Amino acid sequence: MPAELPDLQSLWMPFTANRQFKAAPRLLVSAKGMYYTDADGHRVLDGTAGLWCCNAGHGREEIIEAVHAQMRALDYAPPFQMGHPLAFEAAGRLAALMPPGLDRIFFTNSGSESVDTALKIALAYHRARGEGQRTRFIGRERGYHGVGFGGMSVGGIGANRKAYAGNLMPGVDHLPATLNIAQAAFTRGQPAWGAHLADDLERLLALHDPSTVAGVIVEPMAGSAGVIVPPVGYLERLRELCTRHGIPLIFDEVITAFGRLGAATAAQRFGVTPDLLTMAKGVNNATVPMGAVAVSREIHDTIMAAGPGNAIELFHGYTYSGHPAAAAAAVATLDLYEKEGLFARAASLEPAFESAVHGLRGAPHVKDIRNIGMAAAIELEPRAGQPGARAYEAFLACLKAGVLVRFTGDILAFSPPLIIDEEQIGVLFSVVKTALDSVR
Ligand code: PMP
């Protein structure tokens, strides 16, 4: 039964071509397991885990029950100067999943807030140890770090910055992106080419003087820009340079944490440990808005030690930091990940996922295919004079055929829930193949 359409005019949709959407709306009304149901009652295979976030699939009863029970018991508690037990439990559970040493957890409500929180913690850390002149941040071209002024400023996606360019955070510079299709097209997993791009950090540090730099922030795998996988040795080199110059390295793991790369975090997958690690999305299967920053013991303890014992150590926080409903959902989600072994499942599905996506090499317009863990992207040759049109049309064709994929520019991206099976992986990419065949 098609649902009745609501009035579509009042809602200003985020990151959306509103006029185009409202002329032909695409509404999802329910979800279970690997599938959405749209407003016309059609089943849609979720090839994107919502927005890289529903890693345990949809409609998980355990999470629903935990949130219900928590809302009945305690709907809200102030997180400043007061607390509630579940926020502490959720933090402890997260700390246990993080790379060793990153065991102090600050709660936020989104990835954007996690990024801005991490930048502020880096500044507060330097101030606390008498190095307040360290105020500069280094991000990376094509990086996505959310939409706060801090995250937008360290981010490297031109379109997201253009309308606000006069008001970005000062003192930010950017490393070059690591994607180079000419050198590394159709690489499976990490490209062998490109570790030397981390040497640009040395150049930027020399340019600005390392003693002015407060932090370096990168996505270990850039998701939003279209699954840009770090070259072998690249993250190791960033780590080495940051350590040498006393600069906190921040990994933005809003997409990569919670199993996307077959481990709890990308840091663990790549064996490189940052000083701060931002997360959101998969932290509670995206059921209730929540983000977090995992902070090294050293940074946390330095900030805690500054000032007299009765002083507030960090002047930062959100009304909803560690909200009871979000914390309940997080604990239930982490239980599910553990009980169902979903991170290991992602690792074991990676070869099938990889060979399925690379099976599309040779399909019309395909100029690159990239993948790692349960994330992949297909980059298309743009149609002359119509950038982005091919990926958008392929997205529409997939949706019509009952499969949700993501498009950004001329890139299609895939990041299914980690409960997907091999048959569904086959369906996903055979629908994408048919869609590409239909695009002129
Ligand atoms: N950082 C990264 C790496 C992300 O992928 C995202 C969201 N896609 C964000 C930050 C921002 O998260 P949010 O949309 O929850 O603010």
The per-residue DSSP string of 296-345 comes to -HHHHHHHHHSS-TTS-S-----TTTT-HHHHHHHHHHHHHHHHTTHHHH
Query: How many Å separate Cα 406 from the centre of its chain?
Result: 14
User: What's the pTM?
Assistant: 0.98
E strand or H helix that includes residue 237: helix 234-244
Only one residue has tokens 């919502």, namely: 50
* Single-letter amino acid, residue 357: V
Confidence at residue 406, expressed as pLDDT on a 0 to 100 scale: 98
Atom of ligand 1 at shortest range from CA of 289: 15
Using most ligand atoms within 8 A of CB, pick from 51, 107, 108, 144 the residue to mutate for ligand 1: 144
Domain assignments of the chain as residue spans, ordered by start:
18-56+341-438, 64-339
Using most ligand atoms within 8 A of CB, pick from 51, 108, 112, 276 the residue to mutate for ligand 1: 112
Confidence at residue 217, expressed as pLDDT on a 0 to 100 scale: 99
pLDDT of 16 higher than 60: yes
Share of residues in the chain with pLDDT > 70 (%): 99
Query: Token pair for residue 321?
Result: 């930091």
Quick: pLDDT tens for 79-118: 999 999 999 999 999 999 999 999 999 999 999 999 999 9
Split at pLDDT 50, 70, 90, the class of 3 is low
Atom of ligand 1 at shortest range from CA of 112: 16
- Do residues 166 and 154 make contact, with C-beta atoms less than 8 angstroms apart? no
Quick: pLDDT tens for 301-359: 999 999 888 899 999 999 999 999 999 999 999 999 999 999 999 999 999 999 999 99
| d(C-alpha 303, C-alpha 30), whole Å | 45
β-bridge mates for residue 217, sequence order? 250
DSSP state of 219: -
Domains 18-56+341-438 and 64-339 share a fold: no
Share of residues in the chain with pLDDT > 90 (%): 97
- The predicted complex's ipTM stands at 0.99
Quick: pLDDT tens for 53-68: 999 999 999 999 999 9
β-bridge mates for residue 250, sequence order? 217, 276
- For ligand 1, the distance from its centroid to the CA atom of residue 252, given in whole angstroms, is 8
Confidence at residue 4, expressed as pLDDT on a 0 to 100 scale: 75
CATH superfamily, with its number, for domain 18-56+341-438? Aspartate Aminotransferase, domain 1 (3.90.1150.10)
Quick: pLDDT tens for 241-290: 999 999 999 999 999 999 999 999 999 999 999 999 999 999 999 999 99
- Do residues 317 and 363 make contact, with C-beta atoms less than 8 angstroms apart? no
pLDDT of 1 higher than 70: no
Domain 64-339: CATH class, spelled out: alpha beta
Quick: pLDDT tens for 150-159: 999 999 999 9
- Residue 60 — left, alpha, or beta (φ > 0 → left; ψ -120 to 50 → alpha)? beta
E strand or H helix that includes residue 352: helix 342-358
Quick: pLDDT tens for 164-209: 988 899 999 999 999 999 999 999 999 999 999 999 999 999 999 9
Q: Which residues line ligand 1 (CB under 6 A)?
A: 110-112, 115, 144-146, 219, 223-224, 252, 254-255, 280
DSSP state of 166: G
Split at pLDDT 50, 70, 90, the class of 2 is low
Specify burial of residue 187 (Cβ count, 10 A radius: 0-12, 13-18, 19+): buried
- Kindly list the distances between the CA atom of residue 72 and the CA atoms of 10, 68, 264, 321, 328, in Å, as whole numbers in the listed order: 32, 6, 31, 19, 12
Query: Token pair for residue 78?
Result: 């102030």
Strands 403-404 and 406-408: unpaired
